[in-house]
Every structure is written in structure tokens, then in C-alpha cells.
Amino acid sequence: MPELPDIELYREALRERLLGETLERVRVLGPSWLRSVDPPIPAAAGRPVSDVRRLGKRLVLALEGAADEEALFLVLHLMVAGRLHWKPRRAGAAPARVPARRGLGALDFPHGTLLVTEASPRKRATLHLVRGERALRGHDPGGLEPLDTSPARFAARLRRENHTAKRALTDPRILSGIGNAYSDEILHRARLSPFKQTAQLTDEEMGRLCEAMRATLLEWRERLLREWHESGAAFPERVTAFRPGMAVHGRHREPCPDCGAPVQRIAFAENQCNYCARCQTGGRLLADRALSRLLREDWPRTLAELEERLDALRAEASPP
């Protein structure tokens, strides 16, 4: 799922192309994509784009209203597999076609078309058209903006309810724009277990977590923008949750860049949690709900025990 750094990358690219441009038409192909009926989607046509915003993990296109009415807002949530693609358009040419299988729809402008696709068969990406700032606020889950909040507000919000650190970082009602990928990176930088309860965090750990959050998100936002500009690409096409420069996310069994220990992974529901046992949990392996229950007493409790068992297996497998 595109998270804060990725959405900021999309936002910057869209601002460069769409500010002041008039939206000609919104084409809706995916039957589940459009989730609002009032105002009707044709009401967006003919309006210039006055701003491109980020609202949590949502992209918002602000469309100018007439003198006697409020502005309209197109609210786009890409969910897990939704992606944006920009297709330039020559003068007099027809707008780009929407891909048959993955295409959800398109926003047509005089000089190009913004295509919206979703690779997953479970179509979750959504589009809403709302009128006025008050209606737009209804799409805000209410989480703190990670790059704008103070350490005191951050600590107060996390201590309001007791959750694991991983859940607190990814709950949009607590913090805005952070998901599975960057929460792994933040917790690794903060040297904290993803399962540590927020009620148990000391003031020093809470401050470390807040600083790690800001540093990680700022670093990746600037890195993604820099890489896109240096690539010379007209639009950022490669938006993914798995990037080579990440410390632990998506790097199961690869060496931790700080200590060299193999990165561990816990799978739960449709998500996964990646962490370094040596850097984050004092060498203790966190129990995987499925695998640890299956292995029971054979489940290794520490990184050292895991390495011993792996060494034994390698010795058994090697020829005499």
C-alpha cells in the first residue's frame, strides 16, 4: 500500500502536471471504484485543479467551484494495489485507453490522462467526489500528521490506548499515513520490538520512537523525490512497498545492515512484520502465530538457538 513517502511522491508529480489544468472528464470503468453519488461525478468536469493534497494515505484533487458554490474534491484511496500512471496527450488526440483488466478509470486533461489501475483481483481502491471542506474532513480518520506533531503530542496519543508499537504506528486514527512497510523501518531505527506495548514505553523510548518516525519518513520522502527527478522519468511509475534500501522490510533472512543478523519475519492475516532480533528484541525471536503453534516445543526462542539449529541442519545436509 502506498504510504506517506509514496503518496507525497505522487502528490508532487501531480502538482507539477495538474495545477491550473481543467479536468475534462472522469471515466469510471471499475464498478466498485466510485463510492459516492452526490455530487454526481459529471459535476467534476470543466473545473480547474486548484490544489493537490495528501489526506492520510489518500490523494485529494481540489477542484475550483463557481463564485456561488463550494469547491469539489476528488478523494482517491489507492489501498493495497492501486497505482497511478500518466499518459501524455497530443493536441487533438483521443485520451489514453484504460487497461481492460487492471483499469479502474481515468481523469482526462487537455495535455494528458491520469490512469488508475489496480493489480489485485480484490478491487479495494476507491474514488469519492465531495463538496466542501467539511465533507472532505469526513474522510480523515483523525491521526496525527507524523511530520508535524510534537514529541509531547505523539506520546500522549500513543498512550491514550494500549496497543503494540506496530499497531499504534499503523492505526490511521492514531498516526496518519504510516503502513506496514515504513512501520518496520521506524521500529528498526528506534531499536524497539514491534510487539512492545505502548503503555510500557519509557519516556526515553517514546522520544526515540518519535524521532525515528520523523527521520525515517523524511529520509524516504526526500529519497524518493530525488530518485524520481534524477531518473528523468515523466511520472513515478515504480511505487512499491519493497525497496532495496530498506533495512528490514521485505528482507526476510537477509543480513541486518547494522548488525548482520538475519532479518526475521512474522506473518499475520494479510500483513507481515519484519524485524532484527539482535537490534530490536535482545536476541529473542517473536512467536509466529501459525508456525510457533505448529512447532510448539521445537520453536526456537532465541536467535542463538535458531542459528544452532540451522548449523545442525547444514551439517546433516552436507556430504561426509
Q: Please confirm whether the linkage preceding 262 is cis (ω < 30° from 0).
A: no
**Rounded to two decimals, what is the model's pTM?**
0.89
**What integer pLDDT is reported at residue 262 of this predicted model?**
94
CATH topology of domain 154-289: Helicase, Ruva Protein; domain 3 (1.10.8)
Q: CATH classification of 4-137, choosing from 3.20.190.10, 3.40.50.10420, 3.30.870.10, 3.30.360.10?
A: 3.20.190.10
Q: Where in the chain is the domain with CATH 3.20.190.10?
A: 4-137
**What integer pLDDT is reported at residue 294 of this predicted model?**
39
Give the whole-number percent of the chain exceeding pLDDT 90.
79
Q: Where in the chain is the domain with CATH 1.10.8.50?
A: 154-289
Q: Tell me: the pLDDT tens digits for 216-250?
A: 999 999 999 999 999 999 999 889 989 999 999 99
- Reported for 98-103, long-range contacts at CB under 8 A and 24+ positions apart, including other chains, are 98/27, 98/29, 103/29, 103/30
**What integer pLDDT is reported at residue 201 of this predicted model?**
97
Residue bearing the bigger pLDDT, 208 or 293: 208
Q: Count the Cβ atoms, other than its own, within 10 Å of residue 252.
A: 14
Q: What is the DSSP string of 98-167?
A: PPTTTEEEEEEETTEEEEEEE-SSS---EEEEEEHHHHHHTT---PBPTTT--HHHHHHHHTTS--BHHH
Q: Is the confidence at residue 115, as pLDDT, over 80?
A: yes
**What integer pLDDT is reported at residue 63 of this predicted model?**
96
**23-32, 75-84, 280-289: segment of lowest average pLDDT:** 280-289
Q: Tell me: the pLDDT tens digits for 41-74?
A: 999 999 999 999 999 999 999 999 865 678 999 9
How much of the chain is in helix, strand and coil states, percent to nearest 5? Answer: 35, 25, 40
**What integer pLDDT is reported at residue 7 of this predicted model?**
97
